[in-house]
Structure 1
């Protein structure tokens, strides 16, 4: 490899803006700003949902995912560690996905590895999220059981727990 298009400093700065935008989206629940960071022709590989091509394929998916349980109970997506691969214009990171407090201070979370490829001008041309979907299901089930125990389980989460529990072949 002969080296990437962008310097390490450019990648670090661009990824810091990416994280700020994602944090703002998580706080405001306005997912458009997150999606608008991608190029029009972005390729977004999500191992459970498949491959989306183009920002306008990503947009409805992210809104659907983040506005329904368990996504709508995730409060932030901070990176736990980050690697900058300037030869490939990529950033690799482990993202935490903590869920809101079920009522007793318990923190329930799952993580994923994300690989994002920078296109320049504040835009990202590719993202791949690598994770085991069953770890996310397990974390969400744990959250539901804790919230049920505390009497804070919302109807939407209860319906999700019942449906997913049945799909998994056992009780919620």
Structure 2
């Protein structure tokens, strides 16, 4: 017997995605964090494992408050698989960066596995991706912005720290 109905799982995920979209626009990550259980396990392969909302909030606020995370404009799922038996949603998320000035879209994707706990809350999330792909996308964005004259100091500092200037 399924742990959650497909309807409940898809509705909860749609609400979760809308909350992420709202947070990406407002840069207020509290509502997003509130969709996790208080004892959530958040596994982020490059940054480690966070336990509980407070650790997730501190991480996401820092990550999305600086380059390159803060330059990502949305996080839409490109596809999703719903597993009612385990209460999991497996999806591929796009991470497009803001327009560097000429309409170019530069992004990288990740796979996320989120585990539903019921009542609109998620108890676990694991983000799986190749950090090199995100580094390359961020560098391409910096190089494009530099060429267009739109590279700000924060992104330029990141570019210098990551070997982008010769």
Deviation of the 1:5 alpha carbon: 1.9
CA RMSD, 1 decimal: 1.0
Counterparts of 1:13-162 in structure 2, within 5 Å, are 13-162=11-160
Q: Deviations over 1:149-172 (max 9, x none)?
A: 00000100000010012xxxx746
Deviation at 1:83, TM superposition (A): 0.3
Identify the range of structure 1 (114-123 vs 4-13) with the bigger mean alpha-carbon deviation.
Answer: 4-13
Q: CA deviation at 1:85?
A: 0.7
Distance 1:137 1:154 in 2: 18
Consecutive unaligned residues in structure 2, runs of 5 or more = none
Between the aligned partners of 2:101 and 2:116, the Cα distance in structure 1 is 39
Shift of 1:116: 0.2
Equivalent pairs, count: 166
TM-score (ref. length: structure 2): 0.98
1:97 Cα deviation (Å)?
A: 0.2
CA distance in structure 1 between the partners assigned to 2:2 and 2:128 by the alignment: 23
Instruction: Describe the superposition over 1:108-148 as per-residue Cα deviations: whole angstroms up to 9, x where unpaired.
Output: 00000000000011110000000001100000000000000
> Which stretches in structure 1 are left out of the alignment for 5+ residues?
none
Matches of 2:145 and 2:165, distance apart in 1: 16
Deviation of 1:22 after TM superposition, in Å, equals 0.2
Separation (CA, whole Å) in 2 of partners of 1:52 and 1:94? 21
In the TM superposition, structure 1's runs of 4+ consecutive aligned residues that sit over 6 Å from their partners are: none
